[in-house]
């Protein structure tokens, strides 16, 4: 794995939020990840690209506590971490927007935003949900991101694909997250909805968050990302600053037509 030369000093000195070092994972006889090392910096969009089966989603599942690597380590926000569950990763500030979005269609927007994070008065069996507070905060969360979503009392099943994606991003960004991981966030969207979701992604970066973006859309990667890491056959084979590469080079690195 190499990273292109010529970084400017601002990039070199920018804080690394997440560092993966030598991460390997096998499922039986299948080696899904092989000695993967990469970094994600604060206030940047970092893209992770590669063909199907390259190991991208497996690596993300290791980062957010779904899988546990056989070897290697992660440092997040300056300390070594080994998350046992996705909840531990969320508690540390890592939110993941999966392709299936994990939204409950029969619940409203505000109920989805506060699912498993309900605001309540009192303790134990006598605790009462503060619905007014959750609705108010949900409306603030949506408006802060300028999300094109109907009233927070709308049920998710009535939302378009782009609106659902926006709700999932809003939920990920609304609870002091430091890193937001997005797995193919615009794969099933039309042109206009894709543009709106891309605006949300750039807004997260502008707010100082780190975004790890998995995408097969190379035009999208070149538009949005600051850094791109290329995976092939379970390895991270190259890293490039987007300003110093081209879509053609990234494709060549993915296919192996160009050495790292």
Please tell me which residue, 161 or 56, carries the higher pLDDT value. Answer: 56
Last residue of a domain, one of 175, 194, 210: 175
Q: What is the pLDDT of residues 55-68, one digit of tens each?
A: 999 999 999 999 99
The answer as to whether 99 is a domain residue is: no
Q: CA–CA separation, 45 vs 43, rounded Å?
A: 7
Distance between CA atoms of residues 67 and 107, nearest Å: 29
DSSP letters for 124-184: GGG-EE-HHHHHHHHHHHHHHTT-----TTSBGGGS-HHHHHHHHHHHHHSS--SEEEEES
Q: Which residue has the higher pLDDT, 80 or 174?
A: 80
pLDDT of 192: 84
Question: Containing domain of residue 130, as a range?
Answer: 105-175
Q: What is the pLDDT of residue 79?
A: 94
Question: What are the phi and psi torsion angles at 250 (to 5°)?
Answer: -60, -45
pLDDT digits (tens, 9 = 90+) for 182-240: 998 888 788 888 888 898 899 999 999 999 999 988 899 999 999 999 999 999 999 99
Residues 20 and 70 both lie in one domain: yes
Instruction: Kindly state whether residues 191 and 167 are assigned to the same domain.
Output: no
161-173 helix and 191-206 helix, angle to the nearest 10 degrees: 10
H/E stretch holding 40 reads strand 30-41
40 assigned to some structural domain: yes
For residue 222, the SS3 value is: helix
Asked if residue 229 and residue 141 are part of one domain, the reply reads no
139 and 89 housed in the same domain: no
Report if residue 228 sits inside a domain: yes
Matching residue, tokens 């002091």: 176
Same domain, yes or no: 162 and 76:
no
Instruction: Please report the sign of the dihedral spanned by the C-alpha atoms of residue 218, residue 220, residue 226, residue 232.
Output: negative
Residue 239 lies in a domain: yes
Domain shared by 138 and 245, yes or no = no
Q: Give the Cα separation of 146 and 192 in Å (integer).
A: 15
> Which tens digit of pLDDT belongs to each residue from 117-144?
888 877 766 678 889 999 999 998 888 7
pLDDT value, residue 196: 84
Q: How far, in Å, CA of 96 to CA of 173, rounded?
A: 10
Radius of gyration of the chain from Cα atoms?
19
Q: Are residues 75 and 5 in the same domain?
A: yes
Residue 243: how many other CB atoms lie within 10 Å: 13
CATH of residue 9's domain is 3.40.50.300
The secondary structure element, H or E, covering residue 63 is helix 56-63
Please tell me whether residues 89 and 185 are part of one structural domain: yes
Q: Does residue 8 sit in the same domain as residue 89?
A: yes
pLDDT, tens digit, 9 for 90 and up, residues 12-55: 445 899 999 999 999 999 999 999 999 999 999 999 999 999 99
**Domain end (from 175, 203, 230):** 175
DSSP 8-state code for residue 15 = P
Question: 69-83, 87-101, 103-117, 127-141: which has the highest mean pLDDT?
Answer: 69-83
In the prediction, which pLDDT does 14 show?
Answer: 59
Residue 100 lies in a domain: no
Same domain, 48 and 60: yes
- Number of structural domains, the chain? 2
| pLDDT at res. 6 | 39
Same domain as 256, residue 182? yes
For residues 75 and 83, the answer to whether their CB atoms sit within 8 Å is no
| Same-domain check for residues 9 and 84 | yes
Looking at 175, 193, 208, which one is the last position of a domain?
Answer: 175
Q: Is the pLDDT of residue 73 over 90?
A: yes
């Amino acid at each position: 794995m190499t990273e292109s030369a010529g970084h400017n000093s601002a990039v070199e000195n920018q804080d690394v939020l997440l560092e993966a070092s030598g991460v390997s994972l096998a499922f039986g006889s299948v080696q899904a990840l092989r000695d993967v090392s990469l970094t994600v910096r604060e206030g940047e969009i970092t893209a992770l690209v590669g063909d199907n089966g390259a190991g991208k989603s497996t690596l993300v599942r290791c980062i957010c506590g779904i899988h546990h690597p056989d070897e290697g380590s992660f440092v997040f926000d300056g300390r070594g971490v080994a998350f046992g569950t996705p909840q531990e990763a969320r508690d540390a500030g890592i939110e993941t927007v999966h392709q299936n979005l994990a939204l409950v269609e029969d619940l409203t927007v505000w109920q989805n935003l506060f699912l498993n994070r309900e605001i309540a008065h009192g303790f134990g069996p006598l605790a009462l949900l503060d619905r007014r507070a959750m609705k108010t905060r949900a409306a603030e969360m949506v408006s802060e991101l300028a999300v094109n979503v109907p009233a927070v009392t709308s049920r998710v099943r009535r939302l378009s694909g782009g609106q659902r994606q926006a709700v999932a991003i809003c939920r990920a960004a609304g609870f002091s997250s430091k890193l937001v991981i997005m797995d193919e966030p615009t794969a099933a969207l039309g042109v206009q909805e894709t543009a709106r979701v891309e605006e949300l992604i750039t807004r997260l970066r502008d707010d100082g968050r780190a975004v790890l973006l998995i995408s097969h859309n190379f035009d999208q990667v070149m538009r949005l990302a600051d850094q791109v890491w290329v995976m092939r056959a379970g390895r991270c084979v190259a890293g490039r600053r987007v300003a110093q590469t081209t879509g053609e080079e990234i494709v060549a690195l993915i296919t192996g037509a160009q050495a790292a």
